[in-house]
Amino acid sequence: MWRTNVAGVCLAMVAAVVMVNAVSVYRSEQDVESAIRSGFISRLRPSGGFRGLTRNGASGSGSGIPKVDLLFVLDSSGSISESEFYTLKQAMKDVVAVVHEQTPIQPGGSRIAVMKFSEISKTNMQFGFGAKPTELQVKMAIDALTHDKGGWTATGTALEKAKEVFQGSDPSRVKMIWVLTDGESNVQPKPGIPAAALRRDNILIYVVPIGDAVNQANSSARREVESMASEPKEEYIYEFPSAAVASRTLSRLANRGNMFSGFRIQG
């Protein structure tokens, strides 16, 4: 009986330690939204700040509005359900809307590209920069993305390939990557090394970790997320408990931007 009680106490202590270590890192939706504004949206705007609004203005020489090359790196592994994959596509389209509102996606303007990753053999570009030159074409191409349900998560391979995607990108463009994932990589290389190489090339890396598996403090999955993101981490990591919450937050930002539809920032 005594030994049984000791064993029970030990198990309880282990469980307590696990509970302490499994503290989630979630911020409120409002705090994450604020981080997106300061870490992402602010970098789509003229560096000199606002100097007025003009209807139907466009980015170009002298406007002060940066042109953006943004690559989505989307997890298409089997741990993501079909409905979650669909919801993440909606979230991506909201990011596209936010970009277009600030710096138009158009021929000669800002550009979007998409890569999916799961197994190494299924980690490939879906479309590159300039292949879909308008906001509508980008959104239609995102809608057409299919879920691979791959058995592995080759995040590092995706980031290695991302370096090739940006080769030839004009140095004057603001270069960005959005990584959307719900789990830790399980195929070499680990993503921290290629992410560091991308950051050295002045590519900003945003990471959107979805769900508890990648949002527990001090976990290896969370450390991997942090190894990818640019600094400061709180402005480049947008954690969400579910794809639905991510979509809701980004939709809110996109809809607020549409309140000023027809206006562009004039530098």
CATH number at residue 58: 3.40.50.410
Is 2 part of any domain? no
Do 232 and 38 contact (CB within 8 A), yes or no? no
Supply φ then ψ for residue 219, to 5 degrees: -80, 160
Model pLDDT, residue 264: 43
For residue 3, pLDDT over 50 is answered with no
Model pLDDT, residue 101: 96
Into how many domains does the chain fold? 1
Q: Which DSSP state fits 58?
A: -
Give the confidence band of 205 by pLDDT, cuts at 50, 70, 90.
very high
d(CA 112, CA 127): 9
Supply φ then ψ for residue 5, to 5 degrees: -65, -40
d(CA 203, CA 70): 10
Supply φ then ψ for residue 111, to 5 degrees: -135, 150
Is 12 part of any domain? no
Q: Which DSSP state fits 244?
A: H
Strand 53-55 relative to strand 111-117: parallel, antiparallel, unpaired?
Answer: unpaired
Token pair 């509005």 is at which residue?
A: 65
Give the residue numbers spanning the domain of 96: 24-265
Map residue 92 onto helix, strand or coil.
helix
Q: Pick the more confident residue, 259 or 44.
A: 44
d(CA 91, CA 112): 14
Token pair 């994959």 is at which residue?
A: 85
Which of 43-57, 172-186, 247-261 has the highest mean predicted lDDT (pLDDT)? 172-186
Is 16 part of any domain? no
Supply φ then ψ for residue 85, to 5 degrees: -60, -45
Is 68 part of any domain? yes
Is 1 part of any domain? no
Other Cβ atoms less than 10 A from the Cβ of 130: the count is: 12
Q: Helix crossing, 192-200 with 220-228: angle to 10°?
A: 20
Other Cβ atoms less than 10 A from the Cβ of 241: the count is: 14
Name 139's bridge partners: none
Model pLDDT, residue 161: 98
Choice among 3-17, 62-76, 212-226 with the minimum mean pLDDT: 3-17
Instruction: Name the average pLDDT for the chain.
Output: 87
d(CA 225, CA 211): 12
Is 64 part of any domain? yes
Give the confidence band of 22 by pLDDT, cuts at 50, 70, 90.
low
Is 5 part of any domain? no
Q: Which DSSP state fits 89?
A: H
Is 45 part of any domain? yes
Average pLDDT over every residue of 67-76: 98
